[in-house]
Amino acid sequence: MKKWIPAAGSVLLTLLAVVIAVVVSLHLWDYYMEAPWTRDGHVHADIIQVAPDVSGLVTELHVRDNQKVSRGQVLFVIDRARFELAVDEARATVLERRAQLDQAQREAKRNRVLKDLIAAETVEIGDTQVKRAAAALATAEAALGVARLDLERTTVLSPVDGYLGDQTMRVGDYVKTGTPVLSIVDTNSLRVEGYFEETKLHAIEIGQPVDIHIMGEAQHLRGHVQSIAAGIEDRDRVRGNSLLPNIDPSFNWVRLAQRIPVRVVLDDGQQSDIRLVVGRTATLSVLPWSRDTSATVSQ
């Protein structure tokens, strides 16, 4: 009888180990094969390309590489001399056109007083001259507004809050209208985008909570699914010269699941020291719905 006790204990331990191994294996299988998660995630943000609205030489530079900037902060200043002269010229033109309008109005008024002594055609010509002078004054005032706007645009401001990228511009460089010279990472648009296998999309819904682990960080972040991509490129189909579909006749028997982009936004109110650098790698795990989260989304 005593000999059977150790044997029974060994059997029980073996069975217990087998059960634990099966449970762990099922859990791992569910996590790696069924659960919606991916290690193919990256930090993204909107990159604002700053381009001047006027051309000229850079006379002042108020920022440096990778500096934090605020919306409305001065980035650089373009030489103002030419634009100040343009404002003076436009202002002088306005004064000239206003004087011409005053003269035309006086002549038209005198013609109307003397309409019984002069030809009717002369009265009409006087009225036409008033209209032309008024139109010329309006054009000159518009040109003055454009000149003032150009002068104002010589001071280039940051359009968003964020961080400056690598700076290649220096004082003395000539910048052109519409040509980007600086880039700013918009920190208000920081997000994480994960590329999930198409076999796991059935378990992902808009608003679902997401656990975010940035590579190299001990702390995790929380977010939620904002959107799921509506389409990806079909590499097996191209358009031929005749504008008809050209389908690749070859077919690979081993079919890999396509990766679908899923955008995840960070939840507000998180206290974190993690530096979210655009391009950093992240692991995303879509969590099951909770009652509170479901109620919030349904509202």
205 inside domain? yes
Whether residues 211 and 142 share a domain: the answer is no
Strand order in the sheet with 68-69: 47-50, 182-186, 162-164, 68-69
Nearest to 185 by CA among 171, 170, 168, 166: 166
Of 2-11, 99-108, 142-151, the least confident:
2-11
Whether residues 108 and 198 share a domain: the answer is no
CATH of the domain at 237: 2.40.30.170
Whether residues 124 and 201 share a domain: the answer is no
Whether residues 149 and 199 share a domain: the answer is no
Among 153, 174, 198, give the residue marking a domain's end.
153
63 inside domain? no
Domains in the chain: how many in total? 2
Residue 239 has pLDDT above 80, yes or no: no
Residue 69 has pLDDT above 90, yes or no: yes
- Domain of 122 in residue numbering reads as 80-153
Q: How far is CA 131 from CA 107, 138, 141, 271, in A?
A: 13, 11, 15, 66
211 inside domain? yes
29 inside domain? no
**pLDDT given for residue 298 in this prediction:** 43
Q: What is d(CA 127, CA 110) in angstroms, rounded to the nearest whole number?
A: 11
Q: What is d(CA 287, CA 39) in angstroms, rounded to the nearest whole number?
A: 15
11 inside domain? no
218-232 pLDDT, tens per residue?
Answer: 999 999 999 999 988
Res. 9 pLDDT band, cuts 50 70 90: low
Tell me which of 40 and 289 has the higher pLDDT.
Answer: 40
pTM: 0.76
Whether residues 106 and 202 share a domain: the answer is no
Percent of the chain with pLDDT strictly greater than 70: 79
Residue 234 has pLDDT above 70, yes or no: yes
Would you state the torsion angle of the CA atoms of residues 277, 283, 288, 291, taken in this order, to the nearest 10 degrees? -20
CATH of the domain at 137: 1.10.287
Q: What is d(CA 82, CA 127) in angstroms, rounded to the nearest whole number?
A: 38
Whether residues 128 and 213 share a domain: the answer is no
75 inside domain? no
Enter the tokens of residue 134: 């008024």
Res. 67 pLDDT band, cuts 50 70 90: very high
150-160 pLDDT, tens per residue?
Answer: 999 999 999 99
**pLDDT given for residue 28 in this prediction:** 52
Q: What is d(CA 156, CA 264) in angstroms, rounded to the nearest whole number?
A: 33
Q: What is d(CA 288, CA 264) in angstroms, rounded to the nearest whole number?
A: 15
Mean pLDDT of the 266-276 span: 87
